Amino acid sequence: MENIIEVKNITKAFPGIIANNDISLEIRRGEIYALLGENGAGKSTLMNILFGLYKPDRGDIILRGERVIISSPAHAASMSIGMVHQHFRLVEDFSIAENIVLGIEPKHRFLGILPYVGMTSVNRKIAQLSRDLGLDVDPEMKVSDAGVSIRQRVEILKMLYRNAEILIFDEPTAMLAPQEIAYLLKILKNLKEQGKTIILITHKLSEVKEIADRCGILNRGRLIGVYDVASTSASDMAAYMVGRELDDELPPPPQDFGDVVLDVSNMSVAQRGLKCVDDVSFSVRAGEVFAIAGVDGNGQKELADALAGLIDVSGGSIMLSGQDMTRASVRQRIEAGLSYVPEDRHGIGLILDFPLRHNLALRRYYVSPFCVNGVFKESVFDDFSTGLIENFDIRCGQGGHTVTRSMSGGNQQKAIVAREIELASKLMIFVQPTRGLDIGATRAIHKHIMRQREAGHAIFLISMELDEIRVLADTIGVIYDGRINRIAPARELSTEEIGEYMMGVKV
């Protein structure tokens, strides 16, 4: 089969890191080619080069047998290369059709002179396109009203509307529920049947196994090898990807739980008049990991924020070790024994412009010995941060004086986890604690969580990754549309069943 696109000896360096080191790949027309690798392995960089976002320092791109220089995304699109990014690029205020035609808007003329953008024929064309592929998208719907899965389909339509032949997907399943993932994989197969070439960036082996023909594995900017998916085992691929053999993570060993630490009954949360947490009740015991599974945007964030006191509840009660915390302030809850590792580590978990020593002390800075009579004791901050940096193996250039912004994502997350675990709170809330981290950092954080469980702390975990919930949780609650519809011990729930509750098929 002919190669539709080849990269030859591509090298791309950023200050301090070589993202792509002499990579050569050949992709055949009409195949699904998976690009596997951990975070930071250089997959996205390589694809951004193909899509014209970055210029390679060295190397060539050969498209349909001709050497090309791809200077911009628009240029890539004109050569029928399309890309769906991890973070969708949609204008919320526009309709789906308007988003799709942005940049190639159909021009009509009113009375033969005044130019204007007419949407009627576009709407019809997009509805047709969507039907042909089974995408089920209403072109006149506003994007702000559309969910994640629909938005992703809009991104796919955007490429197809521009007659793209090579479709690049950057971690397309990261935000989807199991059933939505199945649906997406079906769409990808459809596209392949229609003769499109698909490049799939992912680190999920199961997806690669299911739909890809071949896979290239990257590690630390280098191409490790190209494998035929059908004849390579998943565990081999995993080993190639990480560069070493990995033990499988196992579900937590049975453990006796202690007293109830967190008791939530009939709690509801309303934001801007909408109920996003609806009458939920559950309890978490000492030594138990209680995990909430669900598709992003079903009230998890609000649930965690309400427990931590960031937003008010509109009904119900929160009891922490027998104390009523329903109306307590953030600080009262912290002092009563609560830690919170939030999902958005850049947005709220850290002050990026502060040095690490301040960020590590954010829970304690205002009390003695850190602060006496309103004035800081600098040496206490130094000793405290040095201790945490050592115990939690936080890599930072200038110790406690490192500006937090300059640290890598994994180490930033370690800093937050260190700060919250150090409080030794009875209840620890973790929301998406390993999102965007590579396997090494993920394992480290999982170990910290399990150690806290063994030490008898109650853990409340929210994650969108079922794999993560599988290896951590004692008890699983499944959330859908703000309601927790099923709570059961982890071993009693099959993945399929969790999926059905996540999608609201079962309530």
Partner 1 sequence: MDTVFIDGLSYGIPLLCIAIGGIYSERSGIINLALEGLLGMGAFTGSLFVAFFGGFFVQHSSVPMYFAFLFAMIGGALFAMLHGLLCVKLKANQVISGVVINILAIAFTGFFTRQLNSQVFGQPSDRINLGVSVRFDIPFLSDIPIIGAAFQRVYPFQLVIIAVVVLSWYLLYKTRFGMRLRACGDNPHAVDGAGISVAKTRFVAVMISGALAGLGGMSYAYSIAASFSPGIYMGTGYLAIAALIFGNWRIMPTVAACMLFGFARSGGQRLSHLLELPASYSDLIFTLPYVVTLLVLIFFSKSNKAPRALGEIYDKGKR
Partner 2 sequence: MKIKRLLRSIIGGEKRQAFIIPLLAIFCSLVVSALLLLSMGRNPFVAFQSILAGAGVLAKPNYAGGRGMVTDIMMTLAALTPMIFASLAVTVAFKGGLFNIGISGQMLFSGFLATILVGYSDLPSYVAIPLVLIVGAVAGALVGGLIGILKSKFNINEVVSSIMLNYIIMYVISFFILTRYVDSITRNSSAINASARLVFQNFMIGPYRAVLPVFIILAIGAAIAIKFFLDRTRMGFDLRTVGLNTQAARYLGISPQLNIMFAMTFSGALAGIAGVMHYLGYNDMIPPGSLSSIGFDAIAVALLGNLNPIGTIFAAALITVISQGTTYMSSVLDIQREIAQVITGLILLFSACGAFLRQLLSRTGERTE
22 by Cβ neighbours in 10 Å (0-12 / 13-18 / 19+) ranks as middle
Query: By C-beta, is 394 or 469 nearer to partner 2?
Result: 394
Query: By C-beta, is 91 or 330 nearer to partner 1?
Result: 91
Query: By C-beta, is 294 or 349 nearer to partner 2?
Result: 349
Among positive and negative, which fits the CA dihedral 414, 415, 418, 420? negative
350 binds partner 2 (CB under 8 A): yes
- Peptide linkage before 433 cis (omega within 30 of 0): no
Query: By C-beta, is 39 or 475 nearer to partner 1?
Result: 39
Residues in the chain: 507
Minimum Å gap between C-beta 102 and partner 1 is: 4
349 binds partner 2 (CB under 8 A): yes
Give dist(CA 415, CA 297) in Å, integer: 26
Q: How far is residue 426 from each of residues 254, 360, 429, measured CA to CA in Å?
A: 20, 19, 10
17 binds partner 2 (CB under 8 A): yes
Which of 74, 102, 234, 330 forms a contact with partner 2 (CB under 8 A)?
330
Q: Is-contact 225 240, C-beta < 8 A? A: yes
Minimum Å gap between C-beta 107 and partner 1 is: 7
User: Residue 131, CB half-sphere, CA atoms under 13 Å: how many?
Assistant: 6
- Number of neighbours of residue 240 by Cβ within 10 angstroms: 19
Query: By C-beta, is 110 or 373 nearer to partner 1?
Result: 110
Q: How far is residue 304 from each of residues 159, 294, 428, 436, 502, measured CA to CA in Å?
A: 37, 13, 11, 20, 18
Give dist(CA 399, CA 393) in Å, integer: 11
Task: Look at residue 72 and give the partner it binds from partner 1, partner 2, none, a contact being a CB closer than 5 to 8 Å depending on partner kind.
Answer: partner 1
The span of 72-80, 295-303, 342-350, 427-435 binding partner 2 (CB under 8 A) equals 342-350
Which of 1, 256, 374, 379 forms a contact with partner 2 (CB under 8 A)?
374
Q: How far is residue 264 from each of residues 315, 323, 463, 477, 484, measured CA to CA in Å?
A: 11, 12, 19, 13, 12
SS3 annotation, 30-92: CCEEEEECCCCCCHHHHHHHHCCCCCCCEEEEEECCEEECCCCHHHHHHCCEEEECCCCCCCC
Query: By C-beta, is 109 or 131 nearer to partner 1?
Result: 109
Instruction: Give the count of residues interacting with partner 2 (CB under 8 A).
Output: 40
The span of 147-155, 161-169, 191-199, 336-344 binding partner 2 (CB under 8 A) equals 336-344
Task: Look at residue 128 and give the partner it binds from partner 2, partner 1, none, a contact being a CB closer than 5 to 8 Å depending on partner kind.
Answer: none
In 364-384, which positions are buried (b, 16+ CB within 10 angstroms) versus exposed (e)? bbeeeebbeeeeeeeebbeeb
Minimum Å gap between C-beta 81 and partner 2 is: 22
371 binds partner 2 (CB under 8 A): yes
Beta strand 58-63 with 3-14: parallel, antiparallel or unpaired? antiparallel
Task: Look at residue 330 and give the partner it binds from partner 2, partner 1, none, a contact being a CB closer than 5 to 8 Å depending on partner kind.
Answer: partner 2
Task: Look at residue 168 and give the partner it binds from partner 2, partner 1, none, a contact being a CB closer than 5 to 8 Å depending on partner kind.
Answer: none
Query: By C-beta, is 308 or 476 nearer to partner 2?
Result: 308
348 binds partner 2 (CB under 8 A): yes
Query: By C-beta, is 85 or 435 nearer to partner 1?
Result: 85
411 binds partner 2 (CB under 8 A): no
What DSSP line would sit under 118-138, residue for residue? --HHHHHHHHHHHHHTT----
Task: Look at residue 262 and give the partner it binds from partner 2, partner 1, none, a contact being a CB closer than 5 to 8 Å depending on partner kind.
Answer: none
Query: By C-beta, is 97 or 284 nearer to partner 1?
Result: 97
Task: Look at residue 102 and give the partner it binds from partner 1, partner 2, none, a contact being a CB closer than 5 to 8 Å depending on partner kind.
Answer: partner 1
Minimum Å gap between C-beta 172 and partner 1 is: 15
Angle at 128 between CA 126 and CA 133, to 5 degrees: 95
Task: Look at residue 329 and give the partner it binds from partner 1, partner 2, none, a contact being a CB closer than 5 to 8 Å depending on partner kind.
Answer: partner 2
Query: By C-beta, is 16 or 112 nearer to partner 2?
Result: 16
Kindly list the residues in this chain that would bind partner 1 in the complex (CB under 8 A): 53, 72-75, 77, 85-87, 89-94, 98-99, 102-105, 107, 114-117
In 338-426, which ranges are E strands? 338-341, 371-372, 375-376
The span of 117-125, 178-186, 304-312, 448-456 binding partner 2 (CB under 8 A) equals 304-312
The 251-290 site mask, x for binding partner 2 (CB under 8 A), equals: ----------------------------------------
195 by Cβ neighbours in 10 Å (0-12 / 13-18 / 19+) ranks as exposed
In 286-359, which ranges are E strands? 289-293, 315-320, 323-324, 338-341
Nearest to 2 by CA among 26, 24, 18: 26
At 69, the amino acid letter reads I
Residue ranges in contact with partner 2 by CB under 8 A:
14-17, 19, 39-40, 44-45, 308-310, 329-331, 334, 340, 342, 344, 347-354, 358, 362-363, 365-366, 371, 374-376, 378, 405-406, 408
